[in-house]
Amino acid sequence: MNIANRLQQVEQRIGQAAIACGRNPAHVQLVAVGKTHPVNALRQAAKAGARIIGENYIQEAREKIAALADLSISWHFIGHLQTNKAKTAVRLFDLIHTVDSIRLAGELNKEADKIGKRQDVLVEVNIGAEASKSGVGAGQAIDLARQIQAFGHLRLRGLMAMPPFSDDPLQARPYFAALRELRDKMAASLNIALPELSMGMSADVEVAIAEGATLVRVGTAIFGQRQ
């Protein structure tokens, strides 16, 4: 199977999962995760209908974005973002999924201000409280969100998480539910709309959609194994 076929298959999975839980498939967007895959593979995906591409590494993304400038792609940043890359990130990405500290939020705000942009961001939550993972702790997320709201050049859109790894997609379900509940609590306590939940990957798209995912981040199921 080629990339276009696999993309279509993933889109079918998304559509069926949304319908199965009574959601509108249009409310779940696919972020095709391109990390380590060549520009040519990304071009095939975009030509086959992928509208959003997610990248994890700033330098790699910069090169791919330049090489694919002729296509209309919305680029999302989904990797761990170092503060010293904030300047490049606000110039390249429509949505940054991984804001996990006040310091990073402050840098993004400052750099967005310089170029007259309002940067859309998500707060990344370490929903499984794993030592090895980035993301703000669930207990600190509302405080961070409140501080982000106070920055005039950021617009908080929702939450992102990566649950603990498991071979069984169903194991992720309580973490997805916890992220949704945290989002609901945050939206109520800050009195803002937080429409986006970035959760679900190749193996567990269906489970994430059943728990309210609006952005699913899929790499392997579209592009094959990473080297």
Ligand X SMILES: *Cc1c(COP(=O)(O)O)cnc(C)c1O
Smallest gap from residue 179 Cβ to ligand X (A)? 14
* Contact in structure between 226 and 208 (CB atoms under 8 Å): no
Nearer to ligand X by Cβ, of 23 and 35: the residue is 35
Sole binder of ligand X in the list 4, 8, 29, 35 (CB under 6 A):
35
Of positions 56, 101, 119, 214, contacts ligand X by CB under 6 A: 56
Select 149 or 171, whichever has its Cβ closest to ligand X: 171
- Among 74, 140, 171, 202, which residue interacts with ligand X (rule: CB under 6 A)? 202
Q: Is 220 in the site for ligand X (CB under 6 A)?
A: yes
How many CB atoms within 10 Å of residue 165?
12
Distance CA 37, CA 95 (A): 20
Phi, psi for residue 104 in degrees, rounded to 5:
-65, -45
User: Do the beta carbons of residue 194 and residue 159 sit within 8 Å?
Assistant: yes
Which residue, 56 or 119, has its beta carbon nearer to ligand X? 56
Cα–Cα distance measured from residue 83 to residue 75, given in angstroms and rounded to the nearest whole number: 19
The label of the residue with tokens 């993004």 reads 108
Q: Residue 143 belongs to what H/E stretch?
A: helix 141-150
Beta carbon nearer to ligand X, 78 or 127:
78
What is the spatial distance between Cα 2 and Cα 4, in angstroms, rounded to a whole number?
Answer: 6
Which parts of 157-176 interact with ligand X (CB under 6 A)? 162
* Residue 134 vs 149, nearer CB to ligand X: 134
Q: Tell me the closest approach of the beta carbon of residue 162 to ligand X, in angstroms.
A: 6
Q: Residues interacting with ligand X, by CB under 6 A?
A: 33, 35, 56, 78, 162, 201-202, 217-221
